[in-house]
Amino acid sequence: MEIFHFDYIVVGSGLAGLATAYHASKYGNVAILTKSTAQTSNSHFAQGGIACVYDREDRLEKHVEDTLIAGRELCNESTVNILVKEGVDRVKEVIELGMQFDTDEHHEIILGLEGGHSHRRILHAGGDETGARLTSFMLEQVLKLDNVTIFENMSATSILHRDNRAYGVVAYPLSRGESKAFIGKHIVLASGGISKVYSRSTNPDTATGDGISMAIAAGVGVQDLEFIQFHPSALSIEGKPSFLISEAVRGEGAYLLNSKGERFMVGQHPNGELAPRDIVASAIFREMKSDSSNFVYLSLRHLDGEKMRERFQSINRFLMDLGIDFTKEDIPVAPAAHYMVGGVATGSHGETSMNHLYAVGEVASTGVMGANRLASNSLLECLVFAHRAVAHSTAETVEFDQEVKITDIARLFHASESSLTQHQEIIHEMSVVMMQYVGIIRNGNSLSLAQEILVGLKAKVMEPNSIEGIAIIQRINSCLLMIEMASSRKESRGGHIRSDYPKSDEAFKEHTKH
């Protein structure tokens, strides 16, 4: 087995991973392992923007308050204060590096509004291409660095650790070469979320929760996996992908309409279509169920068409390719799994329960998101906690302990072609089960049924000791833990809504830990 040594091993090439690598490069050499190409990540597909108190008339306290309200009393207030306060510095930092956000004719940065925010504070780039432009910008900065090496199409499978100290990861090239070991002084999980385990998701195929699965397998603490955020407005056309229609569209005044052409959010929440995501998604779900429909409508027809085309360029291009002109016709939308609110439990510097192991970005549960993420806080979280994780890692000198490495590295083999075909069938069935029984609204019976089916699927995995077999078993184990946590939370709160326990309960105003 080939073995590489670096000071920092970063798993993931989204904004969290790239920002971590950028800061870590000042203190040593860095390896970035990415499951696809360096450009593929949840961050890349983020349309809305990045939330930041940039307007002089806005206040840090209001951003904190909005985040706490959206988090449904499960946010860590001290961590939220860190996010909001240091977020201003991190955004100014990327601007000083040369990142260009959209500006008006006076060269002032344009600030948008999204659900749950009490003030216009969303910076965007290229209209609805903020994630793509910001991650591409950070990738450009990283590519300039001689001491950062990117390993593309390299899938991490396990954390190497001993005596509660992480010192590396095992990964395998998707080209089906031999597994490789990456040994480092500090290991950073920045592998993104898990929402692709659902059949209807806005995430790329790489978002299968590998970092969470690896952490669970290594005995690292995770929390709040029952809180999956379903984005309210993803395209819903049979046979077409669940393309994200940014919340910023509603921020610019778009309406949600039912099959009768009625604005059903009016009266359900003071902010109407701009209520927090959990409220909007569950309202859409109930509206669909009431008339046995697969979607509701998002309408921009009453807005300035040219302005909307300019503001939402990528959405316009995608829909026009499908023959939909959103200035003249309504868009069929329905909720889709979008963001893992919980994840690997961390402290305020991204530190986990295992020494020298950090988690940053969507894979992490810092306490910032609570039970429901406030729109456009995710890119901000990536920048803030990547910086803090690297700062924390420099607090002590770490030396490689060459003695203990080889004994912990298993030689894995690839599964046969017949096994791979069967694994794809298992993955598909699992995604359907998760969507149907562990979706927007769940209950005790649906969760028990999902658990029973997934246990059965796990038993069907062929060649379980192969690289692919281990990966799929770990993915199933993550879903089973999500179900276990959802079953234990006998209430509805944020992204976790149970029809058998429809109200929030003070007894559950705490994190679910494992």
pLDDT digits (tens, 9 = 90+) for 367-399: 999 999 998 999 999 999 999 999 999 987 777
Please name which of 465, 467, 468, 466 lies closest in space to residue 425, comparing C-alpha atoms.
468
Is-contact 341 373, C-beta < 8 A? yes
Which two structure tokens, joined as six digits, stand for 394?
């420099």
- Region of residue 461 (phi > 0: left; psi between -120 and 50: alpha; otherwise: beta): beta
CA–CA gap between residue 482 and residue 491 (Å, rounded): 15
**Amino acid 44: pLDDT:** 60
Residue 498 falls in the annotated catalytic set: no
Which segment of 36-50, 124-138, 169-183, 285-299 scores lowest on mean pLDDT?
Answer: 36-50
Please name which of 375, 435, 318 lies closest in space to residue 46, comparing C-alpha atoms.
375
For the beta sheet containing 122-123, the strands, ordered from the edge strand earlier in sequence to the opposite edge, are 50-51, 122-123, 111-112
Distances (CA, A) of 306 to 33, 243, 255: 41, 22, 18
Distances (CA, A) of 123 to 87, 97, 99, 387, 454: 12, 16, 11, 20, 41
SS3 state of residue 391: helix
CA–CA gap between residue 109 and residue 32 (Å, rounded): 32
- The secondary structure of 76-116 as a DSSP string is -HHHHHHHHHHHHHHHHHHHHHT----B-TTSPBPEE--TT
Active-site residue among 277, 311, 388, 493? Answer: 277
**Amino acid 401: pLDDT:** 60
Is-contact 91 125, C-beta < 8 A? no
Which segment of 134-138, 406-410, 503-507 scores lowest on mean pLDDT?
Answer: 406-410
Please name which of 472, 16, 437 lies closest in space to residue 213, comparing C-alpha atoms.
472
Any alpha helices (H) in 365-443, and if so which ranges? 378-393, 417-437
**Amino acid 42: pLDDT:** 57
Type of residue numbered 207: A
**Amino acid 43: pLDDT:** 66
